[in-house]
Amino acid sequence: MLYMTVICLFFAHGMSATAVSNSAIHWGFKKAENEVPPEAGANYDELLKKYNAFYKADPTEKVVYLTFDNGYENGYTEKILDVLKKEQVPATFFVTGHYLNSAADLVKRMVKEGHIVGNHSWSHPDFTQINDAKIKEELDKVKQKTKELTGQEEMIFMRPPRGIFSERTLKVAKDAGYIHVFWSLAFVDWKTDQQKGWEYSYNEIMKQIHPGAVILLHTVSKDNADALEKAIVDLKKRGYTFKSLNDYVLSQQFGKNKIFY
């Protein structure tokens, strides 16, 4: 099961100029309103920039990036993929080892239909509680299994399990060739026993939308699957364009990371 903390946790958290801190940070934010992007604050903006991580894109362009976390399959990803295909919207699916083993056909379809498969770790641990070698192992296993299943050669996007990270884990991932992708739009959607109907998901997306949004949705949610098509159609009517994370990275100076399509 995927968990994330969507609360305002951007307190003053000093980072040493020389030491690499392993103080755990739970990604969170004050939700966007009136199409004004949320702000993490200067400390976190600087930290993420140092390691090529990001949570939103250009606030002046009505472009959004759709991402999904896939910890396990709950019967709704096929419908989500159908909607994305119909509306010609690219997405990134961050998968775990469990998902790769239990939903191989869906992962193959993701890549076949032009989506990106990203890394959400093999066993979904708190990265701040394991050593560097174990983090690399978690990431390597997902990358290799994805390649075996789909032929996707490269994997540069990752999302930390539970949204927990530290400066150390950012560095380990960057050194392994990964870019951390956080999010600027999210809500409690992963509790399968507390689904509230498609309007809940739709309203949360529309209330929090902003230029440059990185949208996080969980595929275990029936609400998300039922709301997705209307949300995409209505966002397009409001002038928003959906792009791939590759498009964003290509516009940034992210060193020698290889972009794939």
Work out the angle at residue 179's Cα, subtended by the Cα atoms of residues 69 and 70, and round it to the nearest 5 degrees: 10
- Which residue out of 120, 124, 180, 218 is catalytically annotated? 218
Please indicate whether residue 218 is annotated as part of the active site. yes
CA distance 57 to 246: 12
CA distance 159 to 9: 18
Strand blocks (E) in the chain: 25-26, 63-70, 91-95, 116-119, 157-158, 164-165, 179-180, 214-218, 241-242
- Which residue out of 69, 189, 223, 226 is catalytically annotated? 69
Which residues are paired to 218 by β-bridges?
Answer: 69
Cβ neighbours of 21 (radius 10 Å): 17
Please indicate whether residue 115 is annotated as part of the active site. no
State the catalytic residues.
Answer: 69, 218
